[in-house]
Amino acid sequence: MRYENVCIESMGYVIPDHVVPSAWFEEQLAPLYERFGIPIGSLEQLTGIHERRWWDEKFQVSEGAALAGERAIEKAQIDRSAIQCLINASVCRDYVEPATAVIVHDRLGLSPTAMILDVSNACLGFLNGMTIVANMIELGQIDAGMIVAAESIREGQLKTIERLLAQPPDKQTLWENTATFTLGSGAVAMILSHKTRFPSRNGRRPRLLGGAVRGHTEHNGLCVAQADWMRTNSHDLLIEGMKVIALNWVQFKQEMGWDNGMVDKLFSHQVSEKQRQIGLETLGVGQGRTSDGDIDYPTLSWLGNIASVSAPISMAIANDEHFIDPGDRVCLLGVGSGVNSIILGIEW
C-alpha cells in the first residue's frame, strides 16, 4: 500500500505515575519461585524489563486515551471539529459495549458527524487504525482523523498473582503466565491529515508513505488472553514472530523501493530485550542504541510491553527527545498475536 497525501499532524502520549518494578512481582510470587528453584531477578534478566507503569485503581482506558488525544490536539493546534474520524485501537476496553471510542469521543468533545469505531487486533491495533484513517484521507472521505489507544494491565496482573497463589501451578504453567508480568500501561494518540489541509501551521510534517502487511494465522494459539489471564508460549511465539517480521520486511522494502541502508530510524513493538535484539539482527539494521549509529529507541526497560501503545509511544517519545531528524526515513513496525505484522514507512 502507498499513500501520496497523508501527513502526521501530531502525537500525544501519557505515562502513568505508578511505577511497578519487576522485583515486586517476584516478591508476590516468592513461594512459587522457591518451590521451583527460580532465582529472584529472573524476570528482569529474561525480559530486560526493570519496571512498568500502572494507572490509578479503577482508572478507565477511555480516560487515558482521551488524555493522549487532548495532548495531540494541543500539539496540532487545530480545531477539534476538524477531526472527522476517531478510532480507538487498544487491546483493553472499558466495556464490551459500547465501543470505547464513543466514550473517548464524548470526553474529547469531537464533532457529532465524525466516524467513531473500535479496531481490535492485539498489539497491531494502532497501526491498523493508522491505515484505516490514511485510506479514508487518501480516498478524499475525510481531511483529518485521530487514532487513540490506552492499555491498563493492573487488574489483570493482580488477578493472575491471586490465581497462581490460590491454585499453585506446575512450572510450565508458571512460565506460560510469565508474559503477563511483562506488560505495562500507557496511552498514545496520533492525528493524521491530508497534506493540503493545514499547510502552513506547523511547517514540515512527517508524511506516511505506505507499508506492508503479512499474517501467519495458523499460529493463533501461541498467545491467548482474556481480561484477567494470559497464556503464552514465549519460545515458539518468538520464533514465529521473527519469521513473519522477516518476510514482511522483504515485502515492505519491495513496496517502498527502500533498502536497509535507506532506513534511518525504526520503532518497533517491544516484548523483551531478546526479542528486540533478535529483531534488529533479523532485519539487518544494526544493534540498536549501542553506538552513534543508533536506529531504534527502546522504552521496554522502563515501560514494559504496552501492547498496541508500545511502538507508537516509542516514536512519540523519541520525537519529543529530538531523536528523529527532519528528512529521516522512519519505519514503524508492529507484530501481534495471531501471528501477524504491519510495517509502515514515514518520511519525517
Residues known to be catalytic: 97, 123
**C-alpha distances out from residue 59 to 156, 180, 303, Å:** 13, 19, 18
Strand-strand pairing, 144-151 and 186-194: antiparallel
The residues pairing with 341 across neighbouring beta strands, listed in sequence order, are: 214, 335
CA distances from 231 to 221, 234, 244 (A): 9, 9, 21
Nearest Cα neighbor of 244 from 118, 136, 336, 116 is: 336
Residues 6 or more apart whose CB falls under 8 angstroms from that of 188 comprise 11, 12, 13, 14, 68, 126, 148, 149, 150, 309, 312, 313, 316
Residue 182, C-alpha cell as written in the block: 511483562
CA angle 56, 333, 119 (to 5 degrees): 55
